[in-house]
Amino acid sequence: MAKVLVSDPVDETGIKILSQVARVDVNTGLSEDELIAIIPQYDGLMIRSGTKVTQKVIEAAENLKIIGRAGVGVDNVDVAAATRRGIVVVNSPEGNTVAAAEHALAMMLSLSRHIPDANQSVKANKWDRKSYIGSEVYKKTLGVVGLGKIGSHVAKVSKAMGMKILAYDPFISQERANQLGCILVDLDILFSESDYITLHIPKTKETANLINAQTLAMMKPTVRIINCARGGVIDEDALYKALKEGTVGGAALDVFASEPLGESKLRELGSNVVLTPHLGASTAEAQVNVAIDVAEQIRDVLLGLPARSAVNIPGLSPDVMEKLRPYMRLAETLGNLVGQLAGDRVESLNVKLQGDLADGNSSQPLVVASLKGLLSKALRERVNYVNAAIEAKERGIHLVETRDATIKDYSNSIYLEAVGTKGTHSVTGALLNDGDIRITNVNGFPVNVPPNTYMLFTLHRDVPGIIGKIGSLLGNFNVNIASMQVGRKIVRGDAVMVLSIDDPLPEGVLPEILKVGGVTDAYTVSL
């Protein structure tokens, strides 16, 4: 039975889901050395922000298949190292969306109305109304940096409160911004014209210290900055100086460059600063949501299924995953089939999306699935959706991606062509309305057969007697035929026969089949 380590506190609901398929050990507060010592025995790892999954941890994780982060950010995971090892890294991009957005809004309003300090004043038996005169957000300009799910929610609610919304996000279309009621602008304009600035971006090389002495100098002296995204996107020393000198109106921070927050000058400041201990996702609802989301993904990967929110699978997002999941299964099956037909050493693979599938869909997940299937016979469990492209590149497999929307034999189909030690072979497959896979073409010959665990393919002349001879030969070796279909282009020309059989073909049968007059080639496939 698989084993999963939960190394940070997560909701019990997630643990119950994991227990369906694995033995679950909850062991929190581990140091790096302690984690390295025990990680080799685990197939899955579920974390929050506390556990640091470093390269050393990943190198020690001999059996690890998946790392699940119950939250949005994966800053505490060495994703590159995990990818090289073929370890899936997943997060929960939507589980705490509302919680994080609401916290950013609460921080903005708390800062505007001096709520934390006023609260402490009343609790100290004071009634000092004059010291806590606030500012309205109504008709003020809010600059939203990052229009992902959280930033978009903040923008929509703020718009409803009567704010003007400026937004910066290089990956968002003007149409999407219009739907949210935002005006897309450059960062310089956002910084200079906003009364409030809220950050909803990951920490990357490009965003590290995005708010710094130079960008702070562009802003209004009354601007208020909110960061409930990631620590390190603000230069905290520069912000402290600006707040101290009064060149910035205020700041509300939930995240910091180093957590927990240690000896920081920010603690010295007064009512113009609100600090919280990384509470963005800390609602009862969000904790349940992210635990369920990530636990389900770990369960699925341990069962051999793709994850819906893998951060290190090219072109894969939850929305794309939901739409393409059945076709990834189709692509993987076809890749497995054509890889075995082409032989041990494949030199090139052509992946063609056909029909409606060729229009407006991301091809990368389907290409990755095809490569996973192609390499699965040789690499078995060592290849997965994460490392399939890397493994193919290291083996010198030339990859070609094409599309043809004009082919409408089936509304959505995938064509694969592989060149290998056994020559050039091609297969086409489609999904029926009920989701069942059909192999619709083999080496240019039309067929309509479901994939089977054990299959036999023959290329022969379409003349009387050959099918009977092969059937009798299999019978003599006690091989039971589950189904049979012949595909041909012209009468008495070349033809392909596809046999689904109940058991592996016994040793020595294939050479006997090749001796049958009119048979030019034969292949066994195990799917």
Are 102 and 80 in contact by the 8 Å Cβ rule? The answer is no
End-to-end Cα distance, the chain: 23
pLDDT at 203: 84
Domain identity same for 353 and 487: no
CATH of the domain at 490: 3.30.70.260
Helices (H), 343-479: 364-379, 388-394, 466-476
Which residues, including other chains, have CB under 8 Å from residue 124's CB and lie 6 or more apart? none
Domain identity same for 19 and 79: yes
Domain that holds residue 174: 97-275
Domain identity same for 253 and 168: yes
CATH of the domain at 439: 3.30.1330.90
CA–centroid distance for 228 within its chain: 23
Boundary-marking domain end, from 249, 275, 301: 275
Q: Pick the catalytic residue: 34, 259, 268, 322? A: 259
- Active-site residue flag, 278: yes
Domain identity same for 237 and 297: no
Domain count, the chain: 4
DSSP string, 287-334: HHHHHHHHHHHHHHHHTTPPPSSBTTSTT--HHHHHHHHHHHHHHHHH
How far is residue 377's CA from residue 283's CA, in Å, rounded to a whole number?
46
Domain identity same for 322 and 379: yes
Alpha-carbon separation of residue 182 from 104, 138, 147, 151, 265 (angstroms): 18, 16, 10, 11, 35
Residues 286, 290, 291, 292, CA torsion sign: positive
pLDDT at 391: 77
| Model confidence pLDDT, tens digit, residues 448-475 | 999 999 999 999 999 999 999 999 999 9
- Active-site residue flag, 259: yes
Per-residue pLDDT of the chain (527 residues; tens, 9 = 90+): 999 999 999 999 999 999 999 999 999 999 999 999 999 999 999 999 899 999 999 999 999 999 999 987 788 999 888 987 889 999 887 888 899 999 999 999 999 999 999 999 999 999 999 999 999 999 999 999 999 889 999 999 999 999 999 999 876 778 888 989 999 999 999 999 999 999 998 888 889 999 999 999 999 999 999 999 999 999 999 999 999 999 999 999 999 999 899 899 999 999 899 999 999 988 999 999 999 999 999 999 999 887 878 888 755 555 566 677 789 899 999 999 999 999 878 889 999 999 888 876 667 889 989 999 998 887 765 677 777 887 788 678 999 999 988 887 777 899 999 998 889 999 999 998 878 999 999 999 999 999 999 999 999 999 999 999 999 999 999 999 999 999 999 998 999 999 999 999 998 899 999 999 999 999 999 99
pLDDT at 382: 62
CATH of the domain at 37: 3.40.50.720
Q: Pick the catalytic residue: 113, 176, 278, 329? A: 278
Alpha-carbon separation of residue 311 from 93, 161, 381, 477 (angstroms): 10, 34, 20, 49
- Active-site residue flag, 380: no
Instruction: Tell me the whole-structure pTM to 2 decimals.
Output: 0.61
Boundary-marking domain end, from 451, 486, 505: 451
Domain identity same for 232 and 85: no
Domain identity same for 269 and 367: no
Domain identity same for 339 and 443: yes
Domain identity same for 147 and 258: yes
Pairing of strands 445-449, 437-442: antiparallel
Q: Please name which of 487, 483, 504, 505 lies closest in space to residue 495, comparing C-alpha atoms.
A: 487
Domain identity same for 486 and 523: yes
Q: Please name which of 474, 471, 476 lies closest in space to residue 486, comparing C-alpha atoms.
A: 471
Are 447 and 487 in contact by the 8 Å Cβ rule? The answer is yes
Domain identity same for 479 and 489: yes
Residue type, 160: A
Boundary-marking domain end, from 391, 418, 451: 451
Q: Pick the catalytic residue: 48, 230, 299, 460? A: 230
Domain identity same for 77 and 151: no
